[in-house]
Structure 1
Amino acid sequence: MNGTCNYILTRMESAGLPYEAVFEEARQLGYLEADPTLDVGGIDASHKLAILSSIAFGTRIDFGAVEIEGIERVSIDDIRRAADMGYRIKLLGVAQMTPRGLEQRMAPCLVPAESPLGQLMGGTNMVVVEGDSVGQIVLRGAGAGEGPTASAVLSDVVEIARGVRMPVFGQPAAALQRAKPARTAVPAAYYMRLELQDKPGALAKVATVLGDAGISIDRMRQYGQHSDSSVPVLVVTHKTTPEAIDYAIEALPRTGVLVSDPVELRIEEV
């Protein structure tokens, strides 16, 4: 839902450039807000998600209930490792009504490279709607830069000038219902990147923490050393709960074998 983030992530992949270099490119192209955190921090996209949730479910906008994570932690290594497994990394916003309440989350995720979202390149946006009767509907269009932004604003001005009066949310705002907010609980597989000390027993300690959290490992890969004392390790889990992942991410640094903070990304099969 943010063309700037999609430009940065796809440019990192196609050019093999680090996040910082592509961030500066996006600034030079005029893709970034005056406060870049609104874009790369996922805030702009979360505003859009809250509005779309309101339209989709007839609920009042609740931006404070959106779980937000930006793309700042995504490295060129993550981009390459995801590609090795047939995935691409996208800033993905998901809203779904569950028996527990309305889930709203915005975070970078791995999606299949051949999926509609995986094929979305450059400063483009995409919205995927899933309905009981209509199935999946995919909408895509330009989402970053002065041209697309000016076009969207001018179209609103033209509608006002023509006297078009449609309810913004498909119904009067007073009719919108307050939804109970719910944290994400739907199980999913997760990608984890760990920088470990290159010493005996390090992997065993990681496996123990994951086992204690009830997380089953699907794949584990060790790549070439980053230095004489550390080595990158990639773990892909079987489906597990966000609570289990949170427990593991909090416990892993206490093992004493991590060189840097772990990075985890949800895998969405959309």
Structure 2
Amino acid sequence: MRAKTGQAVGSQRELLQAKVLQPLKDGYDSLTKTEKKIASYFLSRPECLVLETAATIAGNVGVSPMTVGRFLRKLGFDGVSDVRHSLKADLYGPEVGRLWSIDRRYQAFTKREAAHFSLQDSLDAELAAIRKAYEFTTAPIWAKAVDSFAHADRVYVSGLHMARGLALEFVSRLEYIRPGVHLADGQNGHYAELFDEAPRVAVMLIDFYRYDKGTQRAAELARRRGHDVHILVDSYAVWAHKITDSVFNLPTSTGLYWHSNAAMSVLLNLLVNDVIRERGKAVPKRIDKVLQAQRAFDQFAEEL
């Protein structure tokens, strides 16, 4: 039943459709009763093949992990990890594990250039990723995240390496509309901020490949402390789902040399926007205090 790979597909969702979902739809009537239960789960929640393990899928469907494994082998895959690897290989080439390394990116870049890579393909992938960011605003986890960042006593945001800019952007925008927002990036050698004993603490951790061990340890620490943990990651960060249900996974590959953070930035901006709605009349009061502080330091140019 495994679909043949034709022309390169521009997004992970399209690859899932071509390689797994469409073959399932085409062969659904020939499946056994148990196989139909698994197939229905895949069709209704296709992201599970990228974000979950065979054990979690089995638990949600009500079958054994071995049954899930057998079904995936019938589809032509050697388990869930093979599905992910197959998608990565089609998106980034067969040497994906090596080519994602910073010293191998140029090889992948020149191969794409030689294949007459089109900027239109990149634009399509970028727009698909941004569309996914907007789709999160209707997901169940969105309302919980908005409530968390609007009403928590403290907010801590962490993003290391190339994710640091996103973390700074989120902190800068959020602190305009509410107090108690802090950057906790571990640059001081620890995440002591996460030991905050405030009644309610919200934590946003931002990461993408290659994932930082410090971010994962901070996530585990925040969870053990009972904080509201939210994680913004790329499409392949399976580890995040082991920490919290509040995971915002977005595509970052658009075919360009470096991955794109555009969709992540859009999602954070949407989150700030809805936090403003949630806080209501408290926002102008906070902004007035910020403006008073700005006038005291007089750092900005005159308005036009």
Compute the TM-score of the two structures, normalised by the length of structure 2: 0.27
Higher relative strand content: 1
Compute the TM-score of the two structures, normalised by the length of structure 1: 0.29
